[in-house]
Structure 1
Amino acid sequence: MFNRLEIRDRKLAETDDENAPILLCTDPTEEERAYLIDGLGIDLHTLASSLDPNELGRVEFEPDHAAIIIKRPKQYCSEDNFFFKISSVGIFMFRERLVFVVSEEGLRFEGKHFQQIRNLEDVMLKVIFRCVWHFEEHLNVFNMIAEELEQKVNTSMENKHLLHMFTLEKSLVYYLNAIGSNGRVIERIRASINRLGLTPEDCEFLDDLTIENAQCQEMASTYSQVLSGLVGARVSVVSNNLNVTMKRLMLVTIGLMVPTAIFSIFGMNVKLPVVEQSGAFGFWIVLALAAASSGVVFMVSKWMKW
């Protein structure tokens, strides 16, 4: 699907012009791919890399344009089951045209950074900044989910919540790799300022982008280390919760075994002096002995701090 945009009053606005300076291609069909390859001269392999979530970020220069592959978080849905995925964004910078290629919807040109747009190079840098900022948003969600799972694991004997924490830890590894890949792309852009035609204002924004991505990578690394430690500790917590429950069940079993033994003794088909001499009160005497034995078991368990 093609969305065409233009810079109008220093903001991005949709247009129906076939030669619009900004073209957003979402999950292109075969016909749209043919237009990108034959009409715009985009390399087939580079176009496929833009749609491949496993492709690493990079910067390549063709005779008439520059190709940039950047990473961004994929939109999360409940079916992912706590696994956060990565997708790619292909940016093709021509002299008078800017083309974005993505595999799914979610690349939005909104927020305060898209309020004052100077040129196409500025749009390119702000889209990269948007991807970095999207990673930071997901990392904050990671932290909230990890805290919620931690509370559930503390009182749980099931592996479900623990497996969710393992999945989050795996996702953070992919996020760290993607953020590091973006950092290398930003460094390559910095080294190619003249070839990309960046202005001093663009270079200043690129410095801010470098700092933002470094902070994002540090945040992801910190969360990964903390979550890794939590997972190891929570494995022991789940095992300890199970041991505590087994101990309580053992105490209940012992508490039931002693009264059962008393009922069995007095229920034997033989003459017992206590029952014979007590008459109708024999039932209450046996019941009192059974209750007293359960009380003794309870008191002993408290005294020994079982």
Structure 2
Amino acid sequence: MISVFYTNNNLELSVYTNETSENIYDKIVRKSWIHMTNPTDEEIKRISEITSINEKNIRAPLDEEESAHIDVDEDFTLVVVDTPIVEVDEENTAIHKYYTTPFGIIFNNDYFVTISLKTTPIEQSFNNRWMKNFETNKHIKLVIQILYRNAASFVSVLKQLDRDSDSVQKRLHQSLKNKELFELMSLGKSLVYLSTGINADNLVLEKIRRMNEFRKYEEDIDLIEDAIIENKQAMEMANIHREILNGTMDAFASVISNNVNSIMKTLTVVTIVLTIPTLIASFFGMNFNLPIKSEYGFLVSIILSIILSLASAILLIKYTSGVRKKRRK
């Protein structure tokens, strides 16, 4: 999928995609912005020929293991950052799966190219025209605007993850089953992925802030600072959510353990109470003369079993209640 963005001298934005244009390559002109999502080998080859950017550099962000970094060459500049992805978890459809994927920015004097393996929040933001006041011919400023939008995407995704966590906790209050705990574990793993991506992006932003190419204009410097602040906010949110999630999992694990202990105590009381009539029936079932001889022997044994069972049940219940009260004090 290829999209082409171009702003003219009047700052009017034109957007072209494979779906709206028969030949998208004819829409690519100097100072245009080309975005590619999961491109084919043919698309990469054509874009490389048009922009004079090496295919190897275009393919770099398509590696899911590519780490965030910035490379400055005489002919081009390459910036790779991690951007958040949100998908429905196939194993737990009640929650979402969160992770990061590389997002590449490559530009030279004439062309600006972005590339990603999946549809990202950054792409959605400029497709929906949420990014305002950008010009495709100002490559440095455009890079900073994209990085700011990427940091804001992390904040938005973390808020969504927090809503998923609240939903799971509400269900956990009612059910206390392993399923909800596994969902919390999945969200905890997602937080690790997001935190790793945020920290890697922060290193890129800090490096950009020290580069002279990005400090030529006061407006660009202010925008870099805003992007760093937004990214640090995402870092703090991720740390807070991770601590809350870990604490919640520990708390609910303790609650489940206590509930299991209570159930086991109840079963123990029931077992002891049922043991008494079994014991009495065993005595009366032995093959020798008993001290009590009566035609109502069966009825006597039943009544005796009931009395002793009720007495033992009352004593055990009072004992367990007394132990609980002492623990509460």
Q: TM-score range by the shorter chain?
A: 0.7 to 0.9
Gaps of 5+ in 2: 322-329
User: What letter is aligned with 1:4?
Assistant: V
User: What letter is aligned with 2:28?
Assistant: N
Which of 168, 173, 188 is equivalent to 1:169?
188
Contact 2:58 2:106 in 1 (8 A): no
CA-based RMSD:
3.1
Q: Report the counterpart of residue 325 of structure 2 in structure 1.
A: none
Alignment partner of 1:213 is 2:228: no
Q: Report the counterpart of residue 95 of structure 1 in structure 2.
A: 109
More off after superposition, 12-21 vs 211-220: 12-21
Which of 247, 261, 266 is equivalent to 1:229?
247
More off after superposition, 99-108 vs 14-23: 14-23
Which of 131, 155, 171 is equivalent to 1:114?
131
Cα deviation for residue 44 of structure 1 reads 4.1
Which of 64, 77, 80 is equivalent to 2:88?
77
Q: Report the counterpart of residue 289 of structure 1 in structure 2.
A: 304
Aligned pairs (5 A) from 1:1-306:
1-7=1-7, 10=11, 12-15=13-16, 16=21, 17-20=26-29, 21-79=32-90, 81=92, 83-106=97-120, 107-108=123-124, 109=126, 113-119=130-136, 120-121=138-139, 122-151=141-170, 159-192=178-211, 194-196=212-214, 199-266=217-284, 276-278=294-296, 283=299, 285-305=300-320
- Distance in 1 (alpha carbons) for counterparts of 2:155 and 2:217: 27
Cα deviation for residue 11 of structure 1 reads 6.5
Task: Give the secondary structure class of the aligned counterpart of 1:219.
Answer: helix
Cα deviation for residue 267 of structure 1 reads 5.3
The alignment of Structure 1 onto Structure 2 pairs a total of residues equal to 302
Contact 1:175 1:220 in 2 (8 A): yes
Question: Can you list the C-alpha shifts for 1:86-141, whole angstroms capped at 9, x where unaligned?
Answer: 10111112334321101012321156852333454444333222221221122223
Contact 1:12 1:114 in 2 (8 A): no
Question: Can you list the C-alpha shifts for 1:259-281, whole angstroms capped at 9, x where unaligned?
Answer: 333344445677767673448xx
- Distance in 1 (alpha carbons) for counterparts of 2:312 and 2:108: 84
Cα deviation for residue 200 of structure 1 reads 2.8
Question: Can you list the C-alpha shifts for 1:33-60, whole angstroms capped at 9, x where unaligned?
Answer: 2223344233444333311232221111
Q: CA 1:261/1:112 → structure 2, altered by over 3 Å: closer, same or farther? A: farther
Contact 2:214 2:221 in 1 (8 A): no
- Distance in 1 (alpha carbons) for counterparts of 2:164 and 2:259: 22
- Distance in 2 (alpha carbons) for counterparts of 1:275 and 1:131: 91
Cα deviation for residue 210 of structure 1 reads 1.2
- Distance in 2 (alpha carbons) for counterparts of 1:199 and 1:225: 40
- Distance in 1 (alpha carbons) for counterparts of 2:288 and 2:119: 84
Contact 1:259 1:294 in 2 (8 A): yes
Question: Can you list the C-alpha shifts for 1:147-190, whole angstroms capped at 9, x where unaligned?
Answer: 44445556767544333333332322222221011112112222
Contact 2:198 2:235 in 1 (8 A): yes
- Distance in 2 (alpha carbons) for counterparts of 1:138 and 1:62: 33
Q: CA 1:116/1:228 → structure 2, altered by over 3 Å: closer, same or farther? A: same
Cα deviation for residue 233 of structure 1 reads 4.2
Among the aligned pairs, what percent are the same residue?
26
Cα deviation for residue 247 of structure 1 reads 2.0
